[in-house]
Structure 1
Amino acid sequence: MRRNLAIVLTSALVLVGCGSGSGGGLDAVEVGSSKNPSVTVPEDFTTDSTETRVVNEGSGDEVQDGDTVKLNYVAVNGRTGKQFDNSFKAESPLTTQLTEGSVLTGFVKGLTGQKVGSRVLVAIPPKDGFAEGQARDQAEQTLGVKADDTMVFLFDIVAKVPTEAKGAAEKLPKTVPSITLKDDKPAGFTTSGDVTKDPEKAAAYVAIKGDGEKVAKGASITAHYVGQVYPDGKVFDSSWDRGTPSTFSLDQVIACWKDLLPGQTIGSRVVLVCPADSAYGDSPQEGSGIEPGDTLTFAIDLLDAS
């Protein structure tokens, strides 16, 4: 179910609401203290504006508009009083950017200014929740949240996710294309006479060695990345250009990523060279800028994993 919520959230067309409350009806909401906390709301709970109540204040940095954060949460429908999602139970935190257009307006209003380590209740009215159209329909069909429902979230703000790799720089072999930078961020690769022309096997190289935990097999990772046709062809994808990191499961990516990113450390910048048989083979997505049989190369900043 948590994956369903993530899909609906990322496809939402966000409505811009006005102002947020601070407490109000949330004083009547009861929160349990167990590892998997319960959230009990009054019957037919509603609010006209996004309200926030700090249950326990953390001691970490304040969360700002535009930050990428890792959250554990319980989600409750105010109308029914029933949970429609619970990342504590699923042991699968949500990583999202707090910015208009990337997530629900109520998330941005309710969490901006709160501290990492805090437990926070946020009540979100329909105008700050799911918009009309496909996201609205998905919310009702998948989550049981109707157009007039208030949603109540209990959030644990686990961490702010870094925006770039940080660690000790390591020299790439001459046989690997060199990373080019734009505004200090990877923008692609350049080649030289020493670069291997037709690599036969997928390989990983570390450009910056982070000191975080090792990425586990099948983990959900948050990363900034740029992808280019090897060795210095078309740049076909860049999260840096989009302005927000991407989060996805390593069970749902090309074999090169799935096989070579586990074991790398969080905070690292990793270069992957991916021959076609470990990438998209002879069937790349139409319009992707990748041709059948292309070898690909990526620069990846590993920002977080869970």
Structure 2
Amino acid sequence: MVSNMPEVNAEFGATPAIAFPTDKPPVGLKSIEIVEGDGPMVRRGDTVTVNYHGVVWGKDTPFDSSFERHQPASFGIGVGQVIRGWDMTVPGHNVGSRLVVSIPPSYGYGAQGVPQAGIGGEDTLVFVIDIISTR
């Protein structure tokens, strides 16, 4: 188990509830699978459909959440269509899995952040990702 990771409800499909154990995020890119799916494995180059909930470490309000929109997102994984932290952590997990990923700026939006979304250049991002399908 990766230490210092947020606690998240382990119910696939449920809107994530995130509790942060400390003010300081873990160092580097970290990922834990809190629900192991039994569907097909996601591979680099696949088109994956997910529900996700993204927050800045320590914050309650998401900067983006397909759960809140009730609209899953689909994109190529492992091919540079999303931030590097996603490309490096989602492949290798099965459909039906719920992941918690802690992404430092170097694997997210870099030193520039995304100010309009409330993401600073030094912010660590946390995503809860439910893998719905892959093809």
| TM-score band w.r.t. shorter chain | 0.7 to 0.9
Q: TM-score, normalised by structure 1?
A: 0.40
Q: How far apart in 2 are the matches of 1:196 and 1:285?
A: 21
Q: How far apart in 1 are the matches of 2:89 and 2:53?
A: 16
Residue 235 (structure 1) aligned to one of 62, 66, 76:
62
Q: Which amino acid in the other structure matches residue 266 of structure 1?
A: V
Structure 2 equivalent of residue 268 of structure 1: 97
Structure 1 equivalent of residue 112 of structure 2: 283
1:256 alignment partner, SS class: helix
Q: TM-score, normalised by structure 2?
A: 0.86
Indicate conservation of the 8 Å contact 1:210/1:268, yes or no: yes
CA RMSD of aligned residues (A): 2.1
| Larger CA Rg, structure 1 vs 2 | 1
Aligned-residue offset at 1:174: 5.5
Please state which structure has a larger fraction of its residues in helix. Answer: 1
Q: How far apart in 1 are the matches of 2:68 and 2:25?
A: 28
Q: Which has the higher contact order (CA 8 A, sep 6+)?
A: 2
2:127 alignment partner, SS class: strand
Indicate conservation of the 8 Å contact 1:284/1:291, yes or no: yes
Q: How far apart in 2 are the matches of 1:248 and 1:179?
A: 24
Segments of 4+ moved more than 4 angstroms: none
1:235 alignment partner, SS class: coil
Indicate conservation of the 8 Å contact 2:4/2:25, yes or no: no
1:215 aligns with 2:42: yes
Q: How far apart in 2 are the matches of 1:272 and 1:177?
A: 9
Residue 125 (structure 2) aligned to one of 293, 296, 302:
296
Q: How far apart in 2 are the matches of 1:233 and 1:245?
A: 21
Q: 1:180 to 1:212 in 2, by over 3 A?
A: closer
Q: How far apart in 2 are the matches of 1:218 and 1:295?
A: 26
For residues 78-93 of structure 1, the aligned pairs below 5 Å read none
For residues 46-61 of structure 1, the aligned pairs below 5 Å read none
Aligned-residue offset at 1:188: 4.2
Note the alpha carbon deviations across 1:201-260, whole angstroms, 9 max, x for none: 101101110011211012211000100101345411110110111111122000000011
Structure 2 equivalent of residue 101 of structure 1: none
Structure 2 residue runs without a partner (length 5+): none
Q: How far apart in 1 are the matches of 2:67 and 2:133?
A: 16
Q: Percent identity at matched positions?
A: 31
Structure 1 residue runs without a partner (length 5+): 1-171
Structure 2 equivalent of residue 254 of structure 1: 83
Indicate conservation of the 8 Å contact 1:225/1:300, yes or no: yes
Q: How far apart in 1 are the matches of 2:65 and 2:83?
A: 16
Q: Aligned pair count?
A: 131
